[in-house]
């Protein structure tokens, strides 16, 4: 939902929990935004389940919290993989250094 210098913001209507929202996005971002809206709608409907009386505000906050938690877990996992890659590179460098004759 950011507007880049190369793309004009155009209004797009999305539907979440049977409510329509109009948002401005560039043509490049349109498909991504509609996919995100579908995912959000699905997640909110799953969380609501059969309890139609739950407040939409509460439902939105709980869904946002769940999505933020999942994002944080992905970031944490990616960070640990970066550390693994650096460790492997360090080990490979140490092995190469051991194979090369020392120059003095």
Q: Which residues of 37-56 are buried (b: 16+ CB within 10 A; e: fewer)?
A: beebbebbeeebeeeeeeee
CATH architecture of 10-99: 2-Layer Sandwich (3.30)
- Per cent of the chain over pLDDT 90 is 57
Among residues 18, 59, 14, 20, which one has the least CA distance to residue 34?
Answer: 14
pLDDT band (50, 70, 90) for residue 11? very high
Q: Domain ranges in the chain?
A: 10-99
What pLDDT score was predicted for residue 2? 53
């Amino acid at each position: 939902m950011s507007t880049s210098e190369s793309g004009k913001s155009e209004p797009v209507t999305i539907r979440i929990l049977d409510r329509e929202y109009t948002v401005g996005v560039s043509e490049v971002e349109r498909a991504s935004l509609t996919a995100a809206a579908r995912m959000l709608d699905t997640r909110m409907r799953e969380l609501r389940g059969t309890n139609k009386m739950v407040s939409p505000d509460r439902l939105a906050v709980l869904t946002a919290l769940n999505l933020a938690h999942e994002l944080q877990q992905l970031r944490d996992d990616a960070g640990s993989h970066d550390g693994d890659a650096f460790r492997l590179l360090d080990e490979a460098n140490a092995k190469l250094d051991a194979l090369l004759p020392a120059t003095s």
